[in-house]
A and B are shown apart, each in its own frame.
Chain A
Amino acid sequence: QQQVKQSPQSLIVQKGGIPIINCAYENTAFDYFPWYQQFPGKGPALLIAIRPDVSEKKEGRFTISFNKSAKQFSLHIMDSQPGDSATYFCAASKSSGTYKYIFGTGTRLKVLA
């Protein structure tokens, strides 16, 4: 059973578009939600993360929206560029204890030039 559900599986947008990737979690004990970007053959790189005490966080062109009551969070990429083409993973963790991450299934994003 996938504890963190991610959609869509793949996404194609034009350069300058705003791709949106959605994640939903089940365990209300989760209180740390990072997003990772992964290029083929590379390790996941931490992009941005959010905790449930805020509803939105921005870092550069990346924005996380968080809906605690719906147990959902989303990644928005503003002014997307071909270099953003990668696989994006959301994850969830408790911020106490051992901090192991539960990942979503990933979204393969392609930004067309």
Chain B
Amino acid sequence: AAGVIQSPRHLIKEKRETATLKCYPIPRHDTVYWYQQGPGQDPQFLISFYEKMQSDKGSIPDRFSAQQFSDYHSELNMSSLELGDSALYFCASSLSRRVEQYFGPGTRLTVT
């Protein structure tokens, strides 16, 4: 079965640079969630989209922005990167109005 696709899988950036993470949900899934997982920590909710509209916002820094496109893929844009942004970034998708979320393999961002 098709799963959530994230790209790139690994990304190395320097401080103050920008990064764009992409998420392609499971076909027919119209809801996307972004989570950040620091080393040895639990995933923390960042932001979610339903039908291309932002549906909820968590502890997402103002330096980050995200959007969902007409094909339901989503992009997380991160600017002025800081060392503390180094983490695994997961995207999850779900079918509209269903609570089950399916996670992608993650993008490991390293800021040096």
Contacts and interface: CB of A to CB of B under 8 A. Distances in A.
Contacts of A49: 100
B45 A105 contact: no
B103 A45 contact: yes
B56 A104 contact: no
A101 B4 CA distance: 17
Interface string A9-30: 0000000000000000000000
B10 to A, nearest CB: 10
B102 interface: yes
B106 A95 contact: no
B103 A44 contact: yes
A43 B94 CA distance: 15
B58 interface: yes
Interface residues of B, number: 25
Contact of A98 (B4, B50, B100, B104): B50
A100 B90 contact: no
B2 interface: no
A46 B50 contact: no
Contacts of B44: 103
Interface of B: 4, 31, 33, 35, 41-45, 48, 50, 55-56, 58, 90, 94, 99-106, 108
9 contacts: A43-B103, A43-B105, A89-B43, A93-B99, A100-B58, A101-B33, A101-B43, A103-B43, A104-B42
Interface of A: 32, 34, 36, 41-46, 49, 89, 93, 95, 97-106
